[in-house]
């Protein structure tokens, strides 16, 4: 498969890394899964940077880059639910936001409008990815304190997770408000 530009290739690479991540995590190879997830997350930052810097923004990238991000993050959270790491309601909140925004973007596109990703949506993605990594790495480097306070659990990962959930809700509401003209 040949790509017109490197950012699109990085986006596709991120999509192909998702099943590798899932298999590694579900088979208990958490560190390897964390490395794959971290590399996949870095390709998200890199593809956007390269696309903007070298004016390689494409319709493929506009569609697939956010989709790849959603697939990566939702896959991780779905695995965490299956493994009993997080409660299912967190995944439901994330999915509800993503389906709602995707639906709004589809309606907007049919009306010839584009709802661009806002700062809160990008920040949401960053915190979701950081929360996943913190959960995978058992709060490293902060987990060294669990030797002395074993009942604490994963306070850093938990804090990141709840910030990510709050940003997920906030950015979803922000998108709905931005696109309210579609409802009339």
42 lies in a domain?
yes
Domain range holding 90? 6-183
1 lies in a domain?
no
Cα separation of 135 and 77, whole Å?
10
Cα separation of 27 and 17, whole Å?
16
According to the model, what pLDDT value does residue 139 have?
55
Cα separation of 39 and 136, whole Å?
14
Percent of the chain with pLDDT over 70: 89
According to the model, what pLDDT value does residue 111 have?
82
Contact of 182 with 104, CB cutoff 8 Å: yes
According to the model, what pLDDT value does residue 147 have?
47
Which CATH number goes with the domain that contains 140? 1.20.120.1760
Cα separation of 35 and 39, whole Å?
6
Q: For residue range 157-167, what is the model confidence (pLDDT) as tens digits?
A: 888 999 999 99
Average pLDDT across the chain, whole number: 87
Into how many domains does the chain fold? 1
């Amino acid at each position: 498969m040949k790509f017109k530009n490197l950012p699109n290739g990085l986006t596709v690479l991120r999509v192909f890394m998702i099943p590798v991540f899932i298999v590694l995590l579900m088979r208990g190879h958490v560190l390897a899964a964390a490395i794959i997830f971290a590399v996949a997350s870095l390709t998200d930052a890199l593809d956007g940077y390269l696309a903007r810097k070298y004016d390689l923004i494409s319709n493929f990238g506009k569609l697939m880059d956010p989709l790849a991000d959603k697939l990566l993050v939702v896959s991780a959270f779905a695995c965490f639910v299956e493994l009993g790491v997080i409660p299912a309601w967190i995944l439901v909140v994330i999915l509800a936001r993503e389906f709602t925004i995707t639906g709004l973007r589809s309606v907007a596109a049919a009306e010839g409008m584009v709802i661009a990703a806002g700062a809160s949506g990008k920040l949401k993605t960053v915190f979701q990815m950081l929360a996943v990594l913190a959960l995978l790495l058992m709060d490293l480097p902060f987990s060294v304190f669990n030797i002395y306070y074993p009942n604490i659990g994963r306070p850093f990962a938990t804090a990141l997770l709840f910030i990510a959930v709050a940003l997920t809700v906030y950015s979803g509401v922000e998108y709905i408000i931005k696109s309210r003209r579609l409802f009339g």
